[in-house]
Amino acid sequence: MDVHVTRSHLRGTARAPPSKSYTHRALLAAGYSGGATVESPLVSADTRATARAVAAFGGSAAPAGSERGGDRPAEIPDDADALAVEGFGGRPGVPDDVIDCANSGTTMRLVTAAAALADGTSVLTGDGSLRSRPQGPLLDALGELGVRAESTRGNGQAPLVVSGPLSGGEVAIPGDVSSQYVTALLMAGAVIDEGVEVELTTDLKSAPYVDITLELLADFGVEATPVDAAGDPLDGAAGAAGFSVPGGQTYAPSGGTYAVPGDFSSISYLLGAGAVAAEPGETVRIEGARPSAQGDAAIVEVVEEMGAPVDWDREAGEIAVERADLSGVTVDVGDTPDLLPTIAALGAVADGDTRIENCEHVRYKETDRVSAMAEELGTLGAETTEESDVLTVHGSESDLAGATVDGRGDHRIVMALAVAALAAEGTTTIRGAEHVDVSFPGFFDAMADLGMDVEREGVIE
């Protein structure tokens, strides 16, 4: 689907969708349990993939209160406000069919470790993009724990074949490719009799995403502890040399329910849009912004540093932002890779240079997001310099004008380009805009409600 965005002013209130990262983990954690209700989930293409995986292992996920019958899983509507998950009690069954993870890297990595617990063979695959993403370090780690875990093409990429069951013990894994490898091992290790001791062979990047996992595990009654090089416990994942997970644990959230918080990755687009396009004298207000372990909350500080007035009422979970003349900043995204597209879009509007550092791992997402943003912003008239681990956007040399850009099949690229389009002269056409359904299905509805001049499939909103 093509979307046409014309430069416009915004005002009003939008609500952030629930967190995709938390929803993935909550659905699988509920699957590991004997059953639980996940409240306020994000229902999207990616999280449906995780729900299907839970069903493949012998559990199920359906709207709370829905009637279920027969062998077919209940359809999960976009607006489901709670999902009742029947768990597999920490012992997944061998799937009857191949597990299709679609375009969801989180699903594949977390589910690969869950599949290793089954006493038999599971096969996991996904779409073309997912089949190009690295899984080798996780496969190697599972192999250390007694599992046959292989890429069918021998290149560390899906399709994957996993034959368990998993044994506990010590395992080493790099921390600088994907924090999801660590999350997968922690979640699966808790239900093994022996538990797991995870050693990081390189520094951990995206540590806040592991903090999300630790926070959620605690809410499900599961202990997992980051440790330093001497084996002493740490308060968080940052700087950890490894993790200790006792075995034989049971997943069981208090009261049988878990509530998903709002998503700061999605909030970044709303916040950025307000900073570049709020109507003079007006604000864009964002609801659903309660504090949590999400590292992407750093976008609030980034936007403030660039010069936009931001007021975050943490207790109410509401952010208000005004438009301002932005200035370039230097940002390290080692722990917040999903913010790169948003920051790059803001940099194209700002005066001076915006330097995004420590970003090589951002190349291994749904697409190479470093090159994608450099090239698509360039189509709009932005000047950029791309290095292996740094993206610099030269805002003072950029003059954004409407053009046709490609969302690269990547939800975050689409939404970031929409932010840039609000500041571009004329109309910008974004191809593949339907991919926002991965994490923010109502994105263009929310933007239209705020005042974005957007046309979709011939309908002017």
Beta strands in 119-173 (DSSP E): 121-125, 148-151, 160-163, 169-173
In the three-class reduction of DSSP (H, G, I as helix; E, B as strand; rest coil), residue 82 is classed as strand
HSE-up of residue 78 (Cα within 13 Å, Cβ side): 10
What are residue 86's DSSP bridge partners?
60
Cβ atoms within 10 A of the Cβ of 152, count?
Answer: 13
Distances (CA, A) of 293 to 63, 83, 105, 211, 356: 27, 22, 21, 6, 22
CA distance 69 to 73: 8
Q: Evaluate whether 29 touches 61 at the Cβ level (below 8 Å).
A: no
Distances (CA, A) of 347 to 9, 124, 322, 371: 19, 39, 17, 15
Instruction: Tokens for 179, please give them.
Output: 């924090």
Q: Evaluate whether 196 touches 225 at the Cβ level (below 8 Å).
A: no
Instruction: Tokens for 246, please give them.
Output: 């006792």
User: Which sign does the torsion angle of CA 201, 140, 362, 445 carry?
Assistant: negative
Decide if 46 is catalytic.
no
Sorted by sequence, the CB contacts under 8 Å of residue 71 that are 6+ apart come out as: none
Amino acid at 131: R
Sorted by sequence, the CB contacts under 8 Å of residue 229 that are 6+ apart come out as: 241
Catalytic annotation, pick one of 100, 263, 338, 353: 338
Binding site, annotated residues for phosphoenolpyruvate: 20, 105, 133, 180, 369, 412
In the three-class reduction of DSSP (H, G, I as helix; E, B as strand; rest coil), residue 74 is classed as coil
What are residue 212's DSSP bridge partners?
none
Binding site, annotated residues: 20-21, 25, 105, 133, 178-180, 206, 338, 365, 369, 412
Binding site, annotated residues for 3-phosphoshikimate: 20-21, 25, 178-180, 206, 338, 365
In the three-class reduction of DSSP (H, G, I as helix; E, B as strand; rest coil), residue 19 is classed as coil
Catalytic residues: 338
